[in-house]
Structure 1
């Protein structure tokens, strides 16, 4: 088993690449064929079986460079060759002393008999031995710098370091100072390799763990408290979360008496008959016919949350294909075409520039929204409204919302404000609750993800 390759695959998984068992076996065949001597060839070979998308290829290139530039990723064969050449010099140094008497032979014999790997004549596989020992003690689980001493001792114990120390002491007591010095140098090299491997693994784990911790922190942080730097990290994180939700709620096949042949199940169920399809199984696709209408307040108070929701909905286009997006400060304006013409991030910038930076007028917004979708609403429609419900004392538009409520299947109101702030000041959220099926707080990315997850479950 190639521990270096397995550790690299763990590093890829920690950085978000999905690597299956079958792909791991393919990677092992690639390494067995190509070896580690040519990094460029190895990178291309592994990328062909481990990276599946354009984003995966870019992440793979970064991970490969980060992993294989340190000692743990060096070519073990090359290290062995180098160490063998060095050991040849050591053997040349040792040979003149072999005829001095029985003392040197006895010291060397003790070193080999008791320590094994401490023998001068044995080929020094320092790095490969350290990597194998690190795998035995589970070094890949290290997370904190304070654990370095613990894992250093575990690896040295796996390398029988105490026996090496004993061998060196025996050679010194026997007067074999030169051979004791050589063994001490080999042990020092091994200890240095242990330190490098531990620091290397800690760096790799900290990078992945730090990224996961940063994402978790962003998901749980209110957008109003988020600095500009972290807000710029939201789009890729939103796409990642949306991809997970899409895979969870993607259309699945069900059995039917007619339709498309379920070839895999048919073959499995007829193995007992020699593969002859006496029993046939069919599948059909459950189509999600729900129409989604999203209305977002892009006034200064809640524009950040509206941006997140619209980006989320656009990233879920695979499982929410029939979606129309509207924004408002005053009158509701449909922006679905902008998302079709431009990438989501660019479309949001255009929307904010053209229609944002105004005060909220919920009366005008809800009435104009009802006029635009009145003839499209039916019992398969779901309406999502994002806003804080603060209309600055103007018309609430509650009659238009009640019309939508009676016509649509679901009316969901997402309020980015804390629940404790509802119904204070000029908030009209209590009135809007009477004309909505569900009103929920969506003050963080994690809460919004949970709400969309529940919505997708209802629509299936």
Structure 2
């Protein structure tokens, strides 16, 4: 049963139920106490050990039913007992059945032994590696491999030989009927394995493609892809938050503070019972995000804000601003409506105006420049196209001089930064980092670079 438990845990992980090695050990210990005889008790023991949230419980239930439920083979075409009794006396049956004695699979099919067939299919599936299925295109090949491991080739040879003899045609027809039912059952089995193990792989492959999808693609982003990308960016942010929260805790200890340790040991006759470690002042990032929400950049702005707002654990302060012509603070809009709906609210307030970077910088410096200090990272998101308006480089220099760092994310390739009305090449000199950023994967790398600068190495 240990192998089945390991396969079940692998299926849970494929369904996005996170199971640690320690939790897997707990599950095995729980089953050692409860046993396997009572299905409900067995299921509850696994659920308590492995599922940690309502969502995971729902996914656990679905995987459990798929993994441990087996449809009786008789429902897929194996003969009922009364039908077998009726056919036992058919003419020529005894003579031709001798030809099938050399094939265990043929004997099981003729006798209608559903339990033995199910067991044989499980064993053949293990030998064929059906649980390693990853793509839907592998189902046909895996089904054939499973049937070959069960010995269906021998059965097909027996059927072909029986058809060549007049007295063997009845046997051939019966055996062929059972073979077709077996093929249908094998297809169902492989489909179930695909649902268990390949659904997660297909989802991962889809997410990998979406992480590389251009955010300013012509025609916009499909609503289905948009929902998946929003969920993906939140998971990316959580992964970064977990990673840098852990590093922050680790960075607080590791170097012995000799003077403090000796001072405390004086109360114990010089014996260092209490160890003191050197403490490092760990800063959380303070981020000011200034986003162009004109039509060509709005999607990228939405994902950037989603990313930043999902980093609550590792961000000290986040101030978000948006502009197309005039600049406004969007913190209240984001808090009230959430990131997904906030962009529409922002567009209602300031959208459909002629993009003017100089005017936006003027609005920011007039009203919000005091938010910047030497601990603040400023992130600009925009294409730098200002419709030939004055870019106000003097204000950009003020922002550069007052902040810890200025990062500019531009959805356009660098080859476009010096064409038409783009002034990106002029703003670039006042940026510590200026990068092309047009996918979620690029956005994740850049945000991680920002977080890394705040963590001691």
When normalised by structure 2's length, the TM-score is 0.76
Report whether the alignment pairs 1:300 with 2:299: no
Contact kept in structure 2, 1:412 and 1:438, CA below 8 Å: yes
- Indicate the SS of the match to 2:312: coil
The residue number in structure 2 matching 1:191 is: 183
**Worse-superposed segment, 414-423 or 339-348:** 339-348
Are the structure 2 counterparts of residues 453 and 25 from structure 1 closer, same or farther at C-alpha, using a change threshold of 3 Å? same
The size of the alignment, in residue pairs, is 431
- Counterpart CA distance in 2 for 1:320 and 1:200 is 44
Report whether the alignment pairs 1:18 with 2:18: yes
How far the C-alpha of 1:414 sits from its partner, in A, is 0.8
- Counterpart CA distance in 2 for 1:279 and 1:156 is 67
How far the C-alpha of 1:305 sits from its partner, in A, is 1.4
Contact kept in structure 1, 2:130 and 2:193, CA below 8 Å: yes
The residue number in structure 2 matching 1:422 is: 417
When normalised by structure 1's length, the TM-score is 0.76
- Counterpart CA distance in 2 for 1:305 and 1:322 is 21
**Worse-superposed segment, 377-386 or 221-230:** 221-230
- Indicate the SS of the match to 1:413: strand
- Indicate the SS of the match to 1:12: helix
- Counterpart CA distance in 1 for 2:402 and 2:233 is 31
Are the structure 2 counterparts of residues 57 and 288 from structure 1 closer, same or farther at C-alpha, using a change threshold of 3 Å? farther
The residue number in structure 1 matching 2:193 is: 201
- Indicate the SS of the match to 1:327: strand
How far the C-alpha of 1:150 sits from its partner, in A, is 3.5
Report whether the alignment pairs 1:68 with 2:65: yes
How far the C-alpha of 1:132 sits from its partner, in A, is 3.1
Contact kept in structure 2, 1:360 and 1:390, CA below 8 Å: yes
Are the structure 2 counterparts of residues 56 and 199 from structure 1 closer, same or farther at C-alpha, using a change threshold of 3 Å? closer
How far the C-alpha of 1:309 sits from its partner, in A, is 0.8
- Counterpart CA distance in 2 for 1:443 and 1:121 is 60
- Indicate the SS of the match to 2:377: strand
Pick one of 126, 135, 141 that aligns with 1:150: 141
Pick one of 130, 138, 141 that aligns with 2:132: 141
Unaligned 5+ segments in structure 1 are: 259-276
How far the C-alpha of 1:419 sits from its partner, in A, is 1.9
Q: How does 1:3-402 map to 2 (within 5 A)?
A: 6-27=6-27, 33=34, 46-60=46-60, 63-64=62-63, 68=65, 73-75=68-70, 79=72, 120=111, 124-144=115-135, 147-162=138-153, 187-202=179-194, 207-225=199-217, 226-229=220-223, 230-250=225-245, 251-253=248-250, 254-257=253-256, 287-402=282-397
Contact kept in structure 2, 1:126 and 1:189, CA below 8 Å: no
How far the C-alpha of 1:401 sits from its partner, in A, is 1.3
- Indicate the SS of the match to 2:389: coil
Unaligned 5+ segments in structure 2 are: 258-271
